[in-house]
Amino acid sequence: DADVTQTPRNRITKTGKRIMLECSQTKGHDRMYWYRQDPGLGLRLIYYSFDVKDINKGEISDGYSVSRQAQAKFSLSLESAIPNQTALYFCATSDLVSTNSYNEQFFGPGTRLTVL
Amino acid sequence: RKEVEQDPGPFNVPEGATVAFNCTYSNSASQSFFWYRQDCRKEPKLLMSVYSSGNEDGRFTAQLNRASQYISLLIRDSKLSDSATYLCVVKTDSNYQLIWGAGTKLIIKP
C-alpha cells in the first residue's frame, strides 16, 4: 500500500464550486505539504503544516485553505474554484527536521484538477 | 529571473551515452541542493542530495559550484529507464522551504 495517498486522483469541476482534496499518510511524519505543479513551472508550495496545530501559508496560498485533521490527514480546499487553479496537486510529507537540516519529502500520486 | 532555472529539454540521448545537465540558482545564501526524478504523470522522488564535495551514486554524479551558483547532474551509461524529468531543488533558508526548478526532460532512445 502507498504511504501517501490522495483522493480524488482526477476531478473536473466548474467555476465557483467548492472542492476538497484529501491527503492521508501512514509514514508517521509530522510535516505535511500541499504543492501545485503547472507545465513549465516548478512545484509551488501552497500550504504546509509542521504538526496538527501549526499551519503556514506557502508561496501561493490565495484562493486555498487547509485543514490538518490529524497527524495523518491534511486536506486542501478551494472555496470557489477558478480556471487558473487547473493544475496537478501534490501532497507531501517529511519527518521532523532541525532548523538547518533537511529530510526527504515523500509525495502522494497527485490529483489532477480541471476547473471549467 | 526564476530562482531556480533549468533547461527544459527534452534531451534526446541514445542508450549507453553520457548526459549532463545543469541547474542555476539565484540566491547565494542557498544551503542545500537536491535532484528529484519525476516519471511521466507520477510524483517526484528524491534521486540524490548534492554535497559541496560532489557525490556519486552508481551511474549518477552530482556536483555543486557555489561560486557560479549551479549544480549539475551527470548520468553515465544511460538506460532506457532513465527517461524521466529531473527536477533541481534548492533549500534557501532556515525556514526549510524548497524552491523547485521546472525540470529537464530526458528521453533515452534504444
Minimum distance, in Å, between the CA of residue B29 and any CA atom of chain A: 13
Give the pLDDT mean for A97-102. 58
Confidence (pLDDT) at B54: 87
A69 has pLDDT over 60: yes
Confidence (pLDDT) at A1: 63
Per-10-residue mean pLDDT for chain B, 110 residues long? 89 97 92 93 94 91 95 97 96 77 96
Output the average pLDDT for chain B.
92
- Residues 6 or more apart whose CB falls under 8 angstroms from that of A38 comprise A44, A87, A88
A21-51 pLDDT, tens digit each? 999 999 999 999 999 999 888 899 999 999 8
Cβ-based interface (< 8 Å): residues of B facing A: 2, 4, 8, 31-32, 34, 41-46, 87, 91, 94, 96-103
Give the model's confidence band at A62: pLDDT under 50 very low, under 70 low, under 90 confident, else very high. very high
Give the model's confidence band at A104: pLDDT under 50 very low, under 70 low, under 90 confident, else very high. confident
Give the pLDDT mean for A61-78. 97
Output the average pLDDT for chain A.
92
- Compare CB distances from B96 to A41, A44, A97 and report the shortest one's residue: A97
A55 has pLDDT over 90: yes
Confidence (pLDDT) at B59: 98
A116 has pLDDT over 90: yes
| Cell numbers linked to A48 | 504546509
Distance CA A83, CA A75 (A): 20
Confidence (pLDDT) at A10: 97
Strand A111-115 to B60-65 pairing:
unpaired
- Residues 6 or more apart whose CB falls under 8 angstroms from that of A45 comprise A33, A34, A35, A58, A59, A60, B97, B98
